[in-house]
Structure 1
Amino acid sequence: MTVPSTMTPGATRPRTPAATARPTAPPAAPTRPEHGSARGEAELRRAELAAFLRSRRERTMPEQVGLPRGRRRRTPGLRREEVAQLATVGVTWYTWLEQGRDIHVSPQVLSSIARALMLDRAERNHLFALAGAADPEPDRSCTGLPEGTLQLLDQLGPYPAVIQNTRFDLLAYNRSYGRLLCDLDAVPPEERNCLWLAFTHPDWRAAITDWDETVRLLVARFRASTAGNVSEPAAKALVARLAEVSEDFRRIWARHEVVQPTSKCKLFHQADVGLLRVATTSLWTGPQFGPRMIAYTPMDEETRVRLDRLHALAMGEGQSAGG
C-alpha cells in the first residue's frame, strides 16, 4: 500500500529584494462585489486573500524571521516591505496583493510569500485556494485516510485496489494496483491522477485496450463528479494543464458530456502478465461523496491466475526494494 511521503519546505533567510519592473499603470482597486456572478466571486476571493495575508503578516514577529525589531515600529508584526524582502518580490506588487487588486500572481511567488510568512500546511493550502493557483509544492503527507481503510486496501491483494477522490487523484493503492497500468511508484506524487496519466503517460495509455472510448467516459465522469464545485482551484488547474498538453483532451472536454460512474467489465493489457478482464466495485469511504475505494476483481479463471502472477511480481519488487 502506497501513500505520498512527507515533505517540509525549507526555511528561507532574508535576501536582498530582486529588481522588479513596475507595471506602467496600477490595476484598479476592487469595487463592491457583484454577488452571484463570476466577477463577484473573483472579487470576494481577492478580498479574502488580502485579509488573510494582512493577518498572517501582522502575526509574524521580526525576531521569528531574523530581522531586528527596532525602536520605532508601529506595525504589529512585519512591515509590507519586510515581507517583500523575505519573499524577494517587489514591494508595490505585494502591497497590491494586500489591497485586493486584480493582478496575476505566479505559484512561485505565492510559494515564496508562504515561506516568508512561515505558513503551516493548512495555511499554505488556504493561500493557494484563495489565489486560485496550483501549489508547486503540493502536500505529500498522509492523505488523512483512516488506518483501517488503508489496512483493508492492503488485504484486498492480489486484487488491485485504489482510493481516489472526486478529482481522480490517487490517494493510496495496494501493490497490485501499483503495477496494473504502469509503475505507479515511479510517477511523481503530484502526477498520480487517473485523468492526467490517461492522456500523458505512454504506459498507462498502452494498457487501456479501448483508449478512445475509455477516456471519453473518464472525462465525462470527471465533469460530472466536479460539477458541485466547478471553481475548485485544484480541479481548474488540472483542466488547464491537460488542455495545454493534450489536443485529445481539449477536443473531448469541449463536448460537455457527463455520465455517472457505473460498475462494469474493464479490459487492461498489463505489460507483464497480459490481458486482464476485471469487474470494478466502488465503495465510498465516508458518509458523503468524497474518496472512494475501487477494487478490480477477475471476471474469469485466466484473469485470476494472471492477477496472482501480477501480485507476486509486485510483492517481489517491494521486498527487493526494502531489503
Structure 2
Amino acid sequence: MTPITEPSTLAGWLPYQLYNGTDARWIYPGTLPYTDPFFDETISKCKSLPENGFGKRYSSAVDVLPGWSAPDNALPPAAIIFHVSRCGSTLLSQLLGLNPNHIVLAEVPFFDDLLRARYKQGGKDLSHLLPHAVSYYAQKRTGTEERLFIKADSWHLFFYEEIRAHYPDVPFILLYRRPDEVVASQEKKKGMHAVPGVIESEIFNLGQLPAYQEGTHAYVAAILEQYYQRMQQIHAKDPLAYLVNYNEGFGAITEKVYQLTHTPFTEKEQQDIMQRCGFDAKEPEKKFALPATGIDETAGYLAKAFKGYHQLEKLRM
C-alpha cells in the first residue's frame, strides 16, 4: 500500500475503504458503470482492472478528503432513499439507474465506514466527511449526468440527523414494507443487520434487542419495530421526508420519486421501468416471482412491528 499526499495522483480514483480508523484506501473505477444492485459489487469489478493490480494500491489519511474533493464536477443528491431492508429499495435504485443521465449510488461501503466509525473500538466521529466522500462518487464521468440518487443502508435511519445536516433541502424517501414479508425475506438470505455483531448494537438505539437465541424471526422483527419507530420520528419533524410503501407498486413509486425531484418522466422511461419490474432486483437476469412468506402474521413476536407498520400507514394515508 503506497501512501499518497498529492491529490493529482488520485485524479479519477475513489476512496473505497476506511482502515485503521484514520486512513482511506483508494480504487480506480475506470469507465465501469455504477449499475450493479449494490456498490460493493462494482468495487469487486474495479479490483480486476490493471490500475488496481498489485503494487498499484494507494492510501491516504482520511482527513484529506475535504481538501481533495471535487465539488465543481460533482452533482448534489436529488434524493436519498432510506428503507427497512427487503422492501424494494434495490429495485427502486435499479429503476432510477435506467436513465443514463442518472448516477445511482446503492449502499456505498465507504459511506457506511464513515458513519459507523465512531462505534469502532477507539474510533472517532467521521460523519462530517460524508459529503466530501460523496463528491468523489458524484463526479460527472461522461458529461451527460444530470441527477444523483443515493440509496442508504437500512441502519442509516439512525444517522438521519447527521445526513440531514449535510443535505437540508434534499427529499428523503422512507421506503417500508409489511414486517412478515421482510422477516420472510431475511430468513431466506440474511442481511448484515439481521445477524448480531455485524452491525454495532449501539446503533439500534430505540430499545433493547432480544437475544438472538430466542429466534431469528424475533430478532429481525425487533429491528423492524425500531425502523418503523424511527421513520415515524423522522416523518413527524421533517417536511421533506416522504413515506412510501412497497405495496404501492414500483411503477408508481418511481414516478413519485421523479415528481419529488422534478425529473422529466418520459413515456419511454415508463415503458422501460415496467419491463424492468418483471425481473428480480438483486439478480436482474431472473424473472421476478413473489413467494409465499410462510410467516404467521398473527405470531406474538410480530405484534409490535405490525403496530409500528400500521402507524406508518396511517401517516402515509
TM-score after normalising by structure 2: 0.24
TM-score after normalising by structure 1: 0.24
The answer to which structure, 1 or 2, has the higher relative contact order (CA under 8 A, 6+ apart) is: 2
